Structure 1
Amino acid sequence: MDWDKLRIFHAVADAGSLTHAGDTLHLSQSAVSRQIRSLEESLGTTLFHRHARGLILTEQGELLFDATRSMAKRLDAAAARIRDSEEEVYGELRVTTATGFGTLWLAPRLSKLYAKYPELKIDLMLEERVLDLPMREADVAIRMKEPSQADLIRKRLMNIRMRLFATKEYLAEHGTPLTMDDLSTHRLICQNPNAHQVAAGARLVEELNEHDIRSKLFVNNYFGVLQAVLNHLGIGVLPDYLVESAPDLVRVLPDLESGEVPVFLAYPEELRHSKRIEVFRDFITEEISAHRKNMRDDEGSH
Structure 2
Amino acid sequence: MDWDKLRIFHAVADAGSLTHAGETLHLSQSAVSRQIRALEESLSTILFHRHARGLILTEQGELLFDATKSMSRRLDAASARIKDSAEEVFGELKVTTTTGFGTLWLAPRLPALYEKYPDLNIDLMLEERVLDLPMREADVAIRMKEPSQADLIRKKLMTVRMRLYASQAYLDRVGTLEHMEDIGKHRLICQSPSAFQVAAGATLVEQLLAHDKPNLLHVNNYFGVLQAVLSDLGIGVMPDYVIEDFPNLVRVLPEVESGEVPVFLAYPEELRQSKRIMAFRDFVQDEIIAHRRRIRDGESVLG
Band of TM-score, shorter chain: over 0.9
Query: Partner of 1:36 in structure 2?
Result: 36
Q: Which moved more, 1:210-219 or 1:255-264?
A: 210-219
Contact 1:186 1:213 in 2 (8 A): no
Equivalent-residue separation in structure 1 for 2:88 and 2:67 (angstroms): 33
Within-5 A mapping of 1:3-22: 3-22=3-22
Whole-Å separation in 2 of the counterparts to 1:105 and 1:31: 53
Deviation, 1:28, is 4.8
Q: Tell me if the contact between 2:49 and 2:56 (Cα under 8 Å) persists in the aligned partners.
A: yes
- Number of aligned pairs? 302
* Match of residue 179 from structure 1: 179
Any conservation in 2 of the 1:84–1:90 contact (CA below 8 Å)?
Answer: no
Shift of 1:161: 0.6
- CA positional deviation for 1:19: 4.7
Q: Which residue of 2 aligns with 1:47?
A: 47
Which letter maps to 1:236? G
Structure 2 equivalent of residue 218 of structure 1: 218
Q: Partner of 1:181: helix, strand, or coil?
A: helix
Tell me the distance in 1 between the aligned counterparts of 2:21 and 2:15: 6
Deviation for aligned residue 1:27: 4.3
Q: 1:184 to 1:119 in 2, by over 3 A?
A: same
Contact 2:189-2:236 within 8 A present in 1 as well: yes
2:271 aligned with 1:268: no
What SS class does the counterpart of residue 36 from structure 1 fall into? Answer: helix
**TM-score normalised by the chain length of structure 2:** 0.92
Indicate if the aligned counterparts of 2:85 and 2:273 stay in contact, CA closer than 8 A: no
Q: Which region of structure 1 is more displaced relative to structure 2, 22-31 or 221-230? A: 22-31
Is the Cα–Cα contact under 8 Å of residues 8 and 36 in structure 1 kept in the other structure?
A: yes
Establish whether residue 246 from structure 1 lines up as the match of residue 246 from structure 2. yes
Amino acid at match of 2:124: L
| Per-residue deviation, 1:38 | 2.7
- What's 1:2 paired with? 2
Aligned to 1:157: 157
User: Which has the larger displacement, 208-217 or 275-284?
Assistant: 208-217
Identity %: 76
> Is the 8 Å Cα contact of residues 146 and 263 (structure 2) preserved in structure 1?
yes
Q: What is the aligned partner in structure 1 of residue 62 from structure 2?
A: 62
Measured after TM superposition, the shift of residue 50 of structure 1 is 4.1
Q: Which runs of 5+ in 1 are unaligned?
A: none
Q: SS of 1:203's equivalent?
A: helix
Distance 1:16 1:97 in 2: 34
Look up the match of 2:142: 142
The match for 1:115 is 115
Query: C-alpha offsets along residues 116-145 of structure 1, whole Å, 9 cap, x if unaligned?
Result: 211112111110000011111111110100
Q: Structure 1 residues 27-36 or 170-179, which shifts more?
A: 27-36
Write the distance in 1 (CA, Å) between the matches of 2:269 and 2:241.
29
Q: Deviation of residue 265 (structure 1)?
A: 0.5
Deviation at 1:74, TM superposition (A): 2.1
Shift of 1:81: 2.6
1:7 Cα deviation (Å)?
2.2
* Distance change in 2, residues 1:9/1:246 (3 Å): farther
C-alpha distance in 2 between matches for 1:52 and 1:288: 58
Is residue 2:79 matched to residue 1:79? yes
Aligned letter for 2:98? A
Is the CA contact (8 Å cut-off) linking 1:161 and 1:257 kept in structure 2?
Answer: yes
Three-state SS of the structure 2 residue aligned to 1:137 is: coil
> 1:131 — aligned with what?
131
Shift in CA distance, 190/153, structure 1 to aligned 2, threshold 3 Å: same
Aligned-residue Cα RMSD (Å) equals 2.0
| Separation in structure 1 between the aligned mates of residue 252 and residue 6 of structure 2, nearest angstrom | 60
Q: CA, structure 1 residues 182+87, in 2 after alignment: closer, same or farther (shift >3 Å)?
A: same
Following superposition, the deviation at residue 208 of structure 1 comes to 1.5
Tell me the distance in 2 between the aligned counterparts of 1:60 and 1:38: 15
Separation in 2, partners of 1:171, 1:34:
74
Residues 126-176 of structure 1, C-alpha deviation per residue, up to 9 Å, x if partnerless? 100000111111111101000111111100000001111111111111111
After TM superposition, list the pairs within 5 Å mapping 1:94-109 onto structure 2: 94-109=94-109
